[in-house]
Chain A
Amino acid sequence: MSHSDESFLSSVELMFDQAAELVGLPDDLRHKIKVCNSTYTVRFGVRLRNKLFTFTGYRSVHSEHREPVKGGIRYSPHADQDEVEALASLMSLKRSFGY
């Protein structure tokens, strides 16, 4: 990724801000909708190959405006909290379409 460009999460947030501006949301409500409601980090040990390995997982919920909340399980060496929150934000916006 280019170093001069925005990260995944800030790209999503900047795109969100641009849209929220046009919707005419007041700043306080815009901030509330923009942030993820919760992000849990779980760290757990699994004994494999005669050794205890610690794994880190995240589960982030952007909003519960429609339940159940939905979102993917990604297995990636590059996963981090920002990536999970960006994906959660997109998922929650996505769920405003359809069914």
Chain B
Amino acid sequence: MVIDPNDWEPHELEKITRRFTHELAKRTLISPAQNVPAPDMGTGEREMSWMADEYKRLYPNDLNSWGCVTGKPVSKGGIRGRVEATGRGIQYALQEAFRHPKDIEWAGLTGSLSGKRIVVQGLGNVGYHAAQFLSQEDDAVIVGVMERDGAVIDENGIDIDGLHKHIHDNGGVKGFKGYTPDSNSVLTMDCDIFIPAAMEGVITSDNADQIKAKIIAEAANGPVTFSANKILRDRNCLIIPDLYANAGGVTVSYFEWVKNLGHIRFGRMQRRQHERQTNEMVSAIEEMVGLPFPKDKLAKIIEGPTELDLVRSGLDDVMREGYQVISEKWNGDNRIPDLRTAAMMIAIERIRDSYSSLGI
């Protein structure tokens, strides 16, 4: 929708969003069976719960009405792990890339994510979570963050949580340790991985040859133009393309939709059964070997999976498999210039196959 959300008060945005939902519903442009929207730039859990609520008002008899939209808050039929899903997906995509040493070496890197220097453009929902997970869990170092009003540089690693709070409280990065008003200096600074997480068309032929990153993980949709893509590819910059890299959001949205249709939380039926069975197994092992099970491992092993565990497992599986398929395609045919082309080819082949199975 053509609207600047900052121009409106929350109660006005609610009215507009509900009216918009009404207009979409009249034309079946929102429906649990056919068309399921989700958040994007400028919208989030709040807007999704307004949309779901409005849809429910219109179709109170539709058993699946919660499934008309995804990205809802957990209290309104959402799923745990959805908010951070796209950022989490970026982390999983990069982890899987680093399990492919040949690809990483092609880009001029070696080893693991640990110690890799990362620059993030845009510390919104996606950029924040990606930066947070990569620095906290993979020991990568976030050396630069670009935002609308400037940038932050810190070679020792930026405190992402602190910066995120600072932006929330002050409306920008100004005043934070390492602040510079010149955000371009971060775009072109020396780093291993660049994560564009703002908007489309930010890397063009004007700035592509100044970008020093060896890997670009496209958290935003369409951040690299067609011309810039060629320039980067020619100097062995490994671009992990948007249509794969940021698929974490839609993947967990799908899990949320399945949860809504199932009317039950993932793991509800199995969790305690898993715990009981594992406890039995542990006591059988103790009986057989005559030794107590190591206490420090016991709790982790017995614990049954929560909804969040299952969402992460499902997302990790999708991201790993996606990279493997794309990388195999790229490496297996030297006519294919990059991962993006390989990913698009796979997608096109799958759409073609679904057409041909219909006889079109």
A→B interface (CB under 8 Å): 1-2, 4-8, 10-12, 14-16, 18-20, 22-23, 25, 29, 32-33, 40, 42, 44, 46, 48-49, 55-59, 61, 63, 65-80, 83, 86-87, 90-99
Contact = CB atoms under 8 A, between A and B. Distances in A.
B204 A72 contact: no
Interface stretch (B112-120, B152-160, B305-313, B350-358): B350-358
Given A22-B336, A79-B1, A61 B35 contact: yes
Contact of B20 (A1, A32, A57, A95): A57
B1 A94 contact: no
Nearest to A26: B352
A52 to B, nearest CB: 12
A70 B200 CA distance: 19
Interface of B: 1-5, 8, 12, 15-16, 19-20, 22-24, 27, 29, 31-43, 47-48, 51, 70, 200-202, 204-206, 221-222, 224-229, 242-244, 246-247, 250-251, 253-255, 257, 314, 318-319, 321-322, 325, 333, 335-337, 340-341, 343-352, 354-355, 360
Nearest to B336: A22
Most chain B beta-carbon contacts within 10 A, residue among A63, A72, A73, A96? A73
Nearest to B200: A8
A33 B355 contact: yes
Contact of A6 (B70, B225, B341): B225
B40 A15 contact: no
A65 B226 CA distance: 26
A67 B206 CA distance: 39
Given A5-B201, A8-B201, A23 B345 contact: yes
A35 to B, nearest CB: 12
B204 A57 contact: no
A80 B352 contact: no
Contacts of B322: 97-98
7 pairs of A and B residues whose beta carbons are closest in the complex = A72-B40, A75-B42, A19-B344, A98-B318, A2-B204, A96-B347, A93-B347
Contact of B41 (A22, A23, A75): A75
9 contacts: A23-B348, A57-B24, A65-B350, A70-B36, A75-B43, A76-B4, A87-B40, A90-B242, A94-B246
Contact of B352 (A8, A23, A55, A97): A23
Contacts of B15: 46, 48
Given A18-B344, A56-B1, 16 more contacts: A1-B225, A5-B228, A6-B225, A8-B222, A20-B344, A25-B352, A29-B355, A49-B12, A56-B2, A65-B350, A70-B36, A71-B37, A74-B1, A79-B2, A93-B347, A99-B314
Contacts of A18: 337, 341, 344
A8 to B, nearest CB: 4
A75 B119 CA distance: 26
